[in-house]
Structure 1
Amino acid sequence: MCGIIGYVGTSPALPYLLKGLEQLEYRGYDSAGVAVMEKEGPRVVKSVGSTVRLREKVSGQSFSGGVGIGHTRWATHGVPSEANAHPQWAGSLFIVHNGIVENERILREELEAGGAVFLSETDTETIVHLVHREMESGKPFGEAVRTVLPVLEGSYSFLIAHADPSEPLIAVHRGAPLLLGTCSHGVFVASDMTAFPGEVQSTLPLEVDDMVTIRSDGRFEILSLAEGKARVPTLVSRSHQGGHGKGEYPHYMFKEIGEQPEMLDRLLSSRIRTERGRLSVRFSPAAERALLGAKRIRIVGCGTSFHAGLLGKYRIESLAGIPVEVDVASEFRYREPILDPATDLLVLLTQSGETADTLAALRMAREAGVPTLSLVNVEGSTADREADAAIFLEAGPEFGVAATKTFLSQITLLTLIALFLAPEVRLAEKEGRSRDEILSDFLKLPMLLDKTLSLSTGVTAMSRSLEEVSTVLFMGRGGDFPLALEGALKLKEISYIHAEGYAGGELKHGPLALVEKGTPVVSLLSPDERLVPKMISNMKETLSRGAFLLSIGSERFQDDFSSVSSLSLSLPDCSPIFFPLVAAVPLQLLAYHTACFKGYDVDRPRNLAKSVTVE
C-alpha cells in the first residue's frame, strides 16, 4: 500500500522523485522520504506526513545526483515517524519497500544476535541488513540481493541502491506491483505509472519474481528468478490519461463525483452498439466467451467493489437467471470454496488491478482451472494481465481515496453484463420491455445524473444535520441494500462517523435497538412498487422510536416518503434497475459535505490508502 519510485539517469533525480511521490500519495501518506546518491555521498531526507512536508525540508538544498529512490508510506510495521519512514539503510545500502515481510520477527532476532543494530521498527530494515551481511561476506551487490530473497516470506517489492552512484539500482518484484519507464535521459521504476513524468513514453509492467538491474548508463537487465534466466523485455507505448489535477475543485473527490455524467456517457457509448437497427451490449470477444460459458458466476471484491458485486448479483440473477455468489476477496480463498471449471466464472472487481486479496482469489481460481474476468480501471495492471479477459471501467484517474466514479462504473458494467446475458423472453417477463427499450433508457442516464448533481442544496442540508452526530444508520431493500452498505462506508471513510447499512427487513432483527431520539436514519427508496410500501413501514418503525429520518427516493413516490421524513431528496424518476446509479451520487455528496463541514481532508482520510497491495 506504500508507493515507491526510483530513477537512474543523467538529470538530477530529486525533482522527479518528489513529483512522483506526490502522484503516489493515494497509496499512503503517513510519511515520506528520499535518498539521492551524490558524488560526495548519499543524502537522505525523511518527514512525517504528506509529501508537502518533505518538499519543505529539501527546499533550498542543492541535489545533483542522478540516482535516487523515494517512498511514501502507509504504516504496517511501526508507527508513523521519521525513524520508520523509508528509505532505511545499512552500511552503504539504501532501500524503499512496499509490502510485508511476514517472517520479519525471526529474521530480526537472527540479525540482532549477529550484531546488527536496528534503527526502526520496520520489516523493511531486515531486508537491507540481510543484503548488507551478504556483501560483508564478499558477495557482489546483485548476488547478495539474490541470496537474500529465498528467506523473505510475504508479498512485496523493493528498490535498493548503493551509495556508490556507479553501482546499479536493483528492483525486485515479489508480488507488489512495479513498472519500468524509459525516456531520453534515464530509467524510472515505480509502483504505479502515475508516478512517471510526461517524458516517459515507453513502459514495462514487471512480472512476479523479476529482478531488474538498472545501470548508470541507462541499460537495464531483467532476471526471471522463477526461471533462473534473463527475460527479454517488450516495452509498450505509454497511454496517457488526463485529469490528474484538481483544477478549480477543492478536492479530488468532489471533482470525481462531478465527472460521473461524462464518464457514464463515455462508458455507455463504448458498450452499447446499434446492430440491425436495435441496441445491444458488446464486450471484447474474450470477455463475451467467458460470460456466455458461465453457468454460475462468482464475484469477488473488497470494500466498495464488494458492494458493487452485491448489486451485480441482484441484477444478474433477476435479469439473466444465472446464479451468482459474492465474496469479500480476503475471505474467499480461506473459506475453501468449491470451484467447478465446467460451470464457474470468477469475476474480479478491482479499481487498481493490484488489490492483493483480489489477486490471490484470481490465482486460486486459475489453479483450479476456473475462467477469470476482471473489471479493472488500470490497463496493464496485474488483474488485467493475469485474468483470462478484462473489461475496463474507463473511469479515468481516480485520486480520492473514497471510490466514487469507479463504483458507478462497476455497477454500470455489471448491469450491462446482466442485460448482455438476459434472454429476451425473460426481459419481457421481468421488465415488460425489450432489451432495445431498456438500453435506450440506459443511454439517458448521464442526463439524469446531471439533474441529480444539481440537487446539491438538499444534500447540503442533510450533511449539516449529520455534522455533530456519532452514529448514522442506512437502510434499503432490493438493490438499495448494497447501496445502503456503500453509503455507510462512504460516510465512515471520510467523516469518521460510525455508520452501518442494513436491509430494511432486518431492522427488527437487531438494528432497531440502536435507534433512539435523534438517531439519523437514511432511507433509500427505489421506485419499485413492491418495495416502497414495505420501506415506508420500516421508516415509520424508526420514527416511532424517535429517529431523525432522511430519505432519498424517486420523485414518483415523493409524497409517500417525504411525509414521514425530517429531510428528503427527490431524484429524477427512472427504472428500478437504474435507481442505484442515480442514488449513488447524493450518497457520495452526503459523505463529502459532511466531512467538509467537520473540517477533514476528504482526499486523505486517516489510516486508509487507495490501493491495498498487502493482505
Structure 2
Amino acid sequence: MCGIFAYLNYNVARERRHILEVLFNGLRRLEYRGYDSSGIAIDADPTPADSSSSSSSPSPPMVFRQEGKIESLVGSVYREVDAADVDLERAFLVHAGIAHTRWATHGVPAPRNSHPQSSGGGNEFLVVHNGIITNYEVLKETLIRHGFTFESETDTEVIPKLAKFVYDKACEGGQSVTFSQVVKEVMRQLEGAYALIFKSPHYPNELIACKRGSTLILGVKELTDEKSCATLYHDVKALTKNGEPKELFFSSDLCAIVEHTKNYLSIEDNEVVHIKDGCVSILKFDYGKETPASVQRALSVLEMEVEQIKKGKYDHFMQKEIHEQPHSLTTTMRGRLKDSNVVLGGLKDHLRTIRHSRRIVFIGCGTSYNAALAARPFFEELSGIPVTMEIASDLLDRQGPIYREDTAVFVSQSGETADTLIALEYALENGAMCVGITNTVGSTLARKTHCGVHINAGCEIGVASTKAYTSQIVAMSMMALAIGDDRISTQSRRAAIINGLSELPNKVREVLKLDSEMRDLAESLIDSESLLVFGRGYNYATALEGALKVKEVALMHSEGMLAGEMKHGPLALVDETLPIIVIATRDACFSKQQSVIQQLHARKGRLIVMCSEGDATSVCPSGSCRVIEVPQSEDCLQPVLNIIPLQLLAYHLTVLRGYDVDQPRNLAKSVTTQ
C-alpha cells in the first residue's frame, strides 16, 4: 500500500520550486500510506535539437528517489538540484510532475526500489504505482528475453519497461502511437490490483492515469471566474473542450487535494484518464474491444475541510483523532436520529430484503472486524437474524459458503482494504445482498456494494484507527435499529438505545477527561513486555481492539482475550509482574467479570480494572488493583466509551517509549495488498 500523487499546471506559469513544493506537500498528506521511501519526477530544462536550430526537444525527466520519510527526500532533492545548478526559479507554463511514497511489499526500502520506476536509460517511461501486480514475474522473464535489464526488486518495474516495449515495437513498425494506446496495451498485460500514473518525454506535458482495484482521484482547479467554474465543474465534458488555465491533480487519497480544490472525480476501475493540452479525456478500457469507449461523468464536491488534515493544537494525528470522537460521533448520527426513528437513506430501499435474509455475515479486517464484533450482539437482538463473523482473508482462504439468502456486511474505514474487496467480489458472485460500512465516499467498497452507510467520521490520518472504530459501532447500531424497527417486542429496548445514542457524545467528553490518568498508567507500564486485556459479552471486542492498539503503535506484545476462556490456558500466564486489564462495566456479564477478578487476584495478578463510575469498591474491595472508572451508558453502547481509555493508553505508551505514534513500524493505512 503506497501513496501516489501528480500535479499538472496548464496555461499558468509555475516556478520549478513551486512545482516541487506542491509535489512534496502532496506526499506529506499521503505519508501515512507509506513511509519507508519516496520519490518524484519533474521535467529538466529542454535541450536544443541541434546547433543550427533554435528549436528545443524534451530532456529526460529528472528523477529523485530516497529511502526514509518524506523529509529525507526533500533534503536530498534540494542538495542534488543545488549541486547540479538546476534553476529552481525557472517558470513553466505547462508542466507535469509525479510523486510516490512507498510501503515496501517487493524489495527492501532503498532508492532502487522506490518510485517512480523507470523504463531504463533516458527515463522514457516513468510510473508510480499503488497496488500489486500478480503476474510480474512472468512479464519480467519475457522482458528480460527481449533485452531489458532490471535494477529493482519491485513488481512495478515491469510496467514502465512494458510501456517502452510497446512503444518501441510500434515505432519499429513505422506506426505512430498515442500515449493512451501505449497505456491501454500495458493494461491488457497486467494482472492484479493497481492505480498507475504514467509520465514520458515522448509525450511531454501529458499525464495518464488508470486503475483497477486501487483508489485514484482526479482533482480539478479551474483558474477562471467563479461563474465559469460552476459551469465547468458540473460536467467533466467541459474539461475536454476548454483550454482555460487550470491545475490538475491525481491522488490516491482525497486528503492530498483538499488544500488545492474541492472538485474531484473518483476514477472507476478500468478507466484511463488522459490529460493533454489542458483537456481531460476518460476512456473505459474493455478487454474484449480494441477501441475503448469515451466516458462522460460529473465531478463531485468534496465536503472535507483543510483543517481536518492538520494537527491543530495536538502533537500527533492519533491524539487529535481520539479527542475528535465527540464530534465524529455527532456527525455520524446527524440527521439520522429523528424522534424515535432511525433514517438511513442508503439502506431504506433495501431493508425489506435484509429483513428476509437467512443470516447476516459481517466481514472485515483488523479494527473494522473488531467494530463488527462489538455490534454483533445487539444486531442479533434487534433484528432477530443470526449473525456470523468472518475475517476477510480467512473467508477467502476457506472459500466459505455465502448464499443468495445472505446479507453480507463489509466494514472498512478506507473502503479500499484488499482482502475485504476481494471478499466483496466473492459475495457478489454468490448472489448475496452486499452492504458497505465505510468512512470514505467514492471508495471502491462504497461503489460496488448494493447499499450502505457512510460513517461520516471525517478524515483519519493516523495509521491506528480510533474515531472510525467508534463511529463504525454507532453506524452499525443505527443499522440494527433500522432493520428491527418492525419488531414490536423490542420497542422499549430500541427507545433506550436511541436515547443512549443521543447522550453518547457528551459521555465521550467525560471519558476523555481520563487523559492524564491514562498517561500515569502508561508510565507505570512503560517497561512491561506484555499486556493482557480480558473482556466478554459486549466488551470482548473492546479487549481485542484495545490490545490491537497497544500492539500496533506502542510495539508492545498485547493480547485481547475472552474472559470466559481464561481458565482454559491463559490463567497459566498470571503472576505479579504481568499487567492485566479486566473490563468489568455494568452489563449482563458483570458478575462473571467479578469472578474473573477474584480468580486473578487470588493468583497475585497485577490487575487494572475498568468499571462503571461508583463501582470501584465492588470490583476491587481490597483496594489492591488499579481502577479506571468510566460513565455508564446503555450496555450495547458501552464499548464506545470503554475503548477510549485504551486508545489513550496506547497513545501515551507509544510517546513515552519514543516511537512514532502516527507511523508505526511496518504498518500503513488502508492496506491494498494481500
Among candidates 357, 361, 370, match of residue 307 of structure 1: 370
User: Which residue identity lines up with residue 163 of structure 1 in the other structure?
Assistant: P
* Residues 1:197 and 1:64: Cα distance change in structure 2 (over 3 Å): farther
Partner of 2:645: 586
Among candidates 69, 90, 111, match of residue 82 of structure 1: 111
Report the alpha carbon displacement of residue 467 of structure 1 after superposing the two structures with TM. Answer: 0.7
Judge conservation of contact 1:297–1:345 (CA < 8 Å) in 2.
Answer: yes
Judge conservation of contact 2:496–2:634 (CA < 8 Å) in 1.
Answer: no
- Are 1:146 and 2:208 matched, yes or no? no
Among candidates 220, 230, 233, match of residue 182 of structure 1: 220
Partner of 1:51: 70
CA distance in 1, matches of 2:633, 2:536: 17
User: Which residue identity lines up with residue 146 of structure 2 in the other structure?
Assistant: G
Partner of 1:4: 4
Judge conservation of contact 2:415–2:445 (CA < 8 Å) in 1.
Answer: yes
Partner of 1:614: 673
**What is the CA deviation profile of residues 116-175 of structure 1, one whole-angstrom value per residue up to 9, with x for unaligned ones?**
222211111111112212222235343333223333221112111102462632212122
Partner of 1:413: 475
Instruction: Kindly report which structure 2 residues correspond to 1:124-523, keeping only aligned pairs within 5 A, or say none.
Output: 124-139=156-171, 140=177, 141-164=179-202, 166=204, 168-184=206-222, 185-226=246-287, 228=289, 229-242=292-305, 243-274=308-339, 279-284=340-345, 285-286=348-349, 288-341=351-404, 343-422=405-484, 424-427=487-490, 433-523=492-582
Report the alpha carbon displacement of residue 201 of structure 1 after superposing the two structures with TM. Answer: 4.0
Judge conservation of contact 1:353–1:384 (CA < 8 Å) in 2.
Answer: yes
Report the alpha carbon displacement of residue 216 of structure 1 after superposing the two structures with TM. Answer: 3.7
Among candidates 44, 48, 51, match of residue 38 of structure 1: 44
Judge conservation of contact 2:325–2:467 (CA < 8 Å) in 1.
Answer: yes
Q: Secondary structure at the match of 2:349?
A: helix
Report the alpha carbon displacement of residue 75 of structure 1 after superposing the two structures with TM. Answer: 0.4
Report the alpha carbon displacement of residue 289 of structure 1 after superposing the two structures with TM. Answer: 4.4
Alignment gaps of 5+ in structure 2: 47-58, 82-87, 172-176, 223-245
User: Which residue identity lines up with residue 182 of structure 1 in the other structure?
Assistant: V
CA distance in 1, matches of 2:156, 2:669: 21
After TM superposition, the structure 1 stretch with the greater mean CA deviation from structure 2, 250-259 or 361-370, is 361-370
**What is the CA deviation profile of residues 543-565 of structure 1, one whole-angstrom value per residue up to 9, with x for unaligned ones?**
33332111111124321223365
Among candidates 140, 143, 151, match of residue 119 of structure 1: 151
CA distance in 2, matches of 1:129, 1:19: 29
Report the alpha carbon displacement of residue 424 of structure 1 after superposing the two structures with TM. Answer: 4.9
Judge conservation of contact 2:585–2:632 (CA < 8 Å) in 1.
Answer: no
Judge conservation of contact 1:98–1:156 (CA < 8 Å) in 2.
Answer: yes
**What is the CA deviation profile of residues 45-99 of structure 1, one whole-angstrom value per residue up to 9, with x for unaligned ones?**
1222221222223347417551111101000000111111101112411111111
CA distance in 2, matches of 1:98, 1:378: 18
Judge conservation of contact 1:224–1:230 (CA < 8 Å) in 2.
Answer: yes
CA distance in 1, matches of 2:217, 2:353: 28
Partner of 1:558: 616
Q: Secondary structure at the match of 1:353?
A: coil
* Residues 1:297 and 1:143: Cα distance change in structure 2 (over 3 Å): same
User: Which residue identity lines up with residue 263 of structure 1 in the other structure?
Assistant: S
Partner of 1:94: 126
Report the alpha carbon displacement of residue 598 of structure 1 after superposing the two structures with TM. Answer: 0.4
CA distance in 2, matches of 1:237, 1:578: 34
User: Which residue identity lines up with residue 507 of structure 1 in the other structure?
Assistant: M
Report the alpha carbon displacement of residue 475 of structure 1 after superposing the two structures with TM. Answer: 0.6
CA distance in 1, matches of 2:262, 2:110: 36
CA distance in 2, matches of 1:417, 1:178: 29
CA distance in 2, matches of 1:121, 1:351: 31
Q: Secondary structure at the match of 1:6?
A: strand
User: Which residue identity lines up with residue 17 of structure 1 in the other structure?
Assistant: L
Report the alpha carbon displacement of residue 31 of structure 1 after superposing the two structures with TM. Answer: 0.9
**What is the CA deviation profile of residues 489-536 of structure 1, one whole-angstrom value per residue up to 9, with x for unaligned ones?**
0000100001111110111112222223310111101302x4222212
Partner of 2:601: 543
Q: Secondary structure at the match of 1:68?
A: strand
Among candidates 50, 65, 70, match of residue 99 of structure 2: 70
Q: Secondary structure at the match of 1:480?
A: helix
User: Which residue identity lines up with residue 210 of structure 2 in the other structure?
Assistant: V
User: Which residue identity lines up with residue 137 of structure 1 in the other structure?
Assistant: K
* Residues 1:290 and 1:177: Cα distance change in structure 2 (over 3 Å): farther
CA distance in 1, matches of 2:330, 2:186: 51
Alignment gaps of 5+ in structure 1: none
Judge conservation of contact 1:210–1:225 (CA < 8 Å) in 2.
Answer: no
Equivalent pairs counted in the alignment come to: 605
Report the alpha carbon displacement of residue 295 of structure 1 after superposing the two structures with TM. Answer: 3.7
- Are 1:573 and 2:632 matched, yes or no? yes
* Residues 1:434 and 1:515: Cα distance change in structure 2 (over 3 Å): closer
Judge conservation of contact 2:554–2:657 (CA < 8 Å) in 1.
Answer: yes
* Residues 1:64 and 1:123: Cα distance change in structure 2 (over 3 Å): farther
* Residues 1:33 and 1:344: Cα distance change in structure 2 (over 3 Å): same
CA distance in 2, matches of 1:411, 1:118: 47
Report the alpha carbon displacement of residue 290 of structure 1 after superposing the two structures with TM. Answer: 4.9
CA distance in 1, matches of 2:101, 2:537: 41
CA distance in 2, matches of 1:217, 1:364: 40
User: Which residue identity lines up with residue 176 of structure 1 in the other structure?
Assistant: S
CA distance in 2, matches of 1:194, 1:332: 32
User: Which residue identity lines up with residue 25 of structure 2 in the other structure?
Assistant: K
After TM superposition, the structure 1 stretch with the greater mean CA deviation from structure 2, 347-356 or 454-463, is 454-463
* Residues 1:174 and 1:549: Cα distance change in structure 2 (over 3 Å): same
* Residues 1:492 and 1:405: Cα distance change in structure 2 (over 3 Å): same
CA distance in 2, matches of 1:469, 1:198: 42
Q: Secondary structure at the match of 2:615?
A: helix
CA distance in 1, matches of 2:494, 2:378: 14
User: Which residue identity lines up with residue 217 of structure 2 in the other structure?
Assistant: L
Report the alpha carbon displacement of residue 397 of structure 1 after superposing the two structures with TM. Answer: 0.5
CA distance in 2, matches of 1:563, 1:136: 80
User: Which residue identity lines up with residue 379 of structure 2 in the other structure?
Assistant: I
Q: Secondary structure at the match of 1:469?
A: coil
Judge conservation of contact 1:345–1:371 (CA < 8 Å) in 2.
Answer: yes
CA distance in 2, matches of 1:138, 1:467: 63
Report the alpha carbon displacement of residue 271 of structure 1 after superposing the two structures with TM. Answer: 1.7
Report the alpha carbon displacement of residue 589 of structure 1 after superposing the two structures with TM. Answer: 0.4
CA RMSD of aligned residues (A): 2.0
CA distance in 2, matches of 1:168, 1:442: 51
After TM superposition, the structure 1 stretch with the greater mean CA deviation from structure 2, 109-118 or 442-451, is 109-118
Report the alpha carbon displacement of residue 107 of structure 1 after superposing the two structures with TM. Answer: 2.5
Report the alpha carbon displacement of residue 224 of structure 1 after superposing the two structures with TM. Answer: 2.4
